[in-house]
Amino acid sequence: MTTVPASPLPRFPRDFEWGVSTSAAQIEGAVEEDGRGRSAWDVFAAQTGRIKDGSDARVATDHYHRYPEDVELLKGLGVGAYRFSVAWPRVVPDGSGAVNKAGLDFYDRLVDALLAAGVKPVPTLFHWDTPQALEERGGWLIRETAEHFAAYADVVAGRLGDRVERWITLNEPAELTLLGYGLGQHAPGRELLFDALPAAHHQLLGHGLAVQALRARGATSIGMANSHGPTWAASATEADTAAADLYDLLLNRLFAEPVLLGRYPDEELAGLLPGPVADDLKVISEPLDWYGVNYYQPTLVGAPDPEGAGTSHFGGIRLPAELPFAPREIEGYPRTDFGWPVVPEALTELLVSFRERYGDRLPPVVITENGCSYEGIEDAERIAYLDGHLKALHTAMAAGVDVRGYFVWSLLDNFEWAEGYARRFGLVHVDYATQVRTPKASYHWLRDALREQARG
């Protein structure tokens, strides 16, 4: 039985876009088929101890073969849009050079199936699966990767642009920079700390160059998907507020302000970045039609413990002692099975603060990811989570924030990066042994909620 929240959702605008999100590396599988090249995640997952349950994504949820079934799930859910990602190594196996026609053919079939089902395709061009051949040459630490990304964007737009209206360039460059290049917890597994900053700049440059490539192909609706959340200081002390400000700069402002304002938030930080930064910022700040926000939780941050020694752990991530800030656990809120605090009102806080900070430089916003990890098919906790966050979103809209859409993460349970298959974010349960899909209670709740919204 579907659990019904105490009060119905408020009415959203009739043209508000409802969708769900996935990513290629987490669901497609078929990593050794159709000429696909290796990705950095393929190599990372093959290294002992990198993935907590020892798994990999060679099969994942087998979306490559089962996409017709998944499109039917989308149609049954009643969403108007599907955000998926195109696997760069499936289209350009070495990251540059020869194009793999068979890989493009897959996305061609997927787009056609979505349109036939009445679902708009919203492809993300990069969701962390850097071609391994490029990674071996330096990955996002070198400028050439941004240029190769733009060339790849042109190839995909050339094939799909006649049917795709909306595009997303990058997904969460902050996480790839921090977890992949800074702390080594994600692919490519480098532990460079602040020497990872070139990866941030080159991803942003790649975004700007891809926007130019998409515009040249006639695209009129382009955004990106940055992860953001409020940063709360652990106390009002100068040390804690300074640590929180630095964390907020690195995780929020470093990735928003070059895009929205055409400048980095700190001149000293900008001086650490490679290349002709001032010229690059003109490219990075190419105008967007909308700005994607991935929201999961706020972060409580204080100064590091001067008596602390060695590494610490936060949210399952190993943190070195030399970091100049220390995330803390947020108490007093329910938690997901991933241990993340459930704070819907922080979404309102985030969106209102963005409107106040960026004013008319902030284009319309789309929530490109929001979701939670819970076990079970009768997932009342996920229903409560989605209900609470949608009401918080509506509150932000009532306060004047221009939000045009909301995408749930995720359609399917999937390969959850370094966690392997231990975390389930899907509206649809996947039995990984049989690949049987079973819609959860949250799927039915959202379907019914969307039907009610459609009634006007």
Asked whether the beta carbons of 416 and 371 are under 8 A apart, the reply is no
Cα 236 → chain centroid: 31
Degrees, nearest 5: CA angle 55-74-290: 90
What is the sign of the dihedral through the CA atoms of 313, 56, 89 and 116?
negative
- Measure the CA–CA gap between 48 and 334, rounded to whole angstroms: 34
Give the DSSP H or E segment for 279. helix 277-284
List the domain boundaries for the chain. Answer: 17-454
Give the HSE-up count for residue 31: Cα atoms under 13 Å, Cβ half-sphere: 22
3-state helix, strand, coil in the chain (%, to 5): 40, 15, 40
0.95 surpassed by pTM: yes
Sequence-distant (6+) residues with CB within 8 A of 200 are 173, 174, 177, 254, 255, 273
147 is catalytic: no
pLDDT in single tens digits along all 456 residues of the chain:
456 787 999 999 999 999 999 999 999 999 999 999 999 999 999 999 999 999 999 999 999 999 999 999 999 999 999 999 999 999 999 999 999 999 999 999 999 999 999 999 999 999 999 999 999 999 999 999 999 999 999 999 999 999 999 999 999 999 999 999 999 999 999 999 999 999 999 999 999 999 999 999 999 999 999 999 999 999 999 999 999 999 999 999 999 999 999 999 999 999 999 999 999 999 999 999 999 999 999 999 999 987 765 556 677 787 888 899 999 999 999 999 999 999 999 999 999 999 999 999 999 999 999 999 999 999 999 999 999 999 999 999 999 999 999 999 999 999 999 999 999 999 999 999 999 999 999 999 999 999 999 997
- Measure the CA–CA gap between 356 and 401, rounded to whole angstroms: 9
- Measure the CA–CA gap between 449 and 410, rounded to whole angstroms: 17
pLDDT tens string 225-246: 999 999 999 999 999 999 999 9
pLDDT tens string 86-103: 999 999 999 999 999 999
Sequence-distant (6+) residues with CB within 8 A of 399 are 348, 352, 355
Nearest in space to 408 (alpha carbons), one of 356, 445, 358: 445
DSSP of 146-196: HHHHHHHHHHHHHHHTTT--EEEEEE-HHHIIIIIIISSSSTT----GGGG
- Domain range 17-454, CATH architecture: Alpha-Beta Barrel (3.20)
409 is in an annotated binding site: yes
72 is catalytic: no
- Tell me, letter by letter, the H, E, C secondary structure of 27-85: HCCCCCCCCCCCEHHHHHHCCCCCCCCCCCCCCCCCHHHHHHHHHHHHHHHCCCEEEEE
416 is in an annotated binding site: yes
CB count in 10 Å sphere of residue 144: 13
What does the mean pLDDT of the chain come to?
Answer: 96
Of the residues 17, 286, 369, 381, which is catalytic?
Answer: 369
127 is in an annotated binding site: yes
- Measure the CA–CA gap between 47 and 56, rounded to whole angstroms: 10
Give the DSSP H or E segment for 319. strand 317-319
CB count in 10 Å sphere of residue 10: 13
171 is in an annotated binding site: yes
296 is in an annotated binding site: yes
pLDDT at position 1, please? 47
Cα 150 → chain centroid: 19
226 is in an annotated binding site: no
Of the residues 135, 172, 286, 381, which is catalytic?
Answer: 172
Kindly state the tokens that stand for 56.
């990999």
What is the sign of the dihedral through the CA atoms of 251, 254, 255 and 261?
positive
Q: Is 361 exposed, middle or buried (0-12, 13-18, 19+ CB in 10 A)?
A: middle
- Measure the CA–CA gap between 350 and 125, rounded to whole angstroms: 26
417 is in an annotated binding site: yes
Nearest in space to 288 (alpha carbons), one of 173, 210, 227: 210
Give the HSE-up count for residue 102: Cα atoms under 13 Å, Cβ half-sphere: 10
Q: Is 1 exposed, middle or buried (0-12, 13-18, 19+ CB in 10 A)?
A: exposed
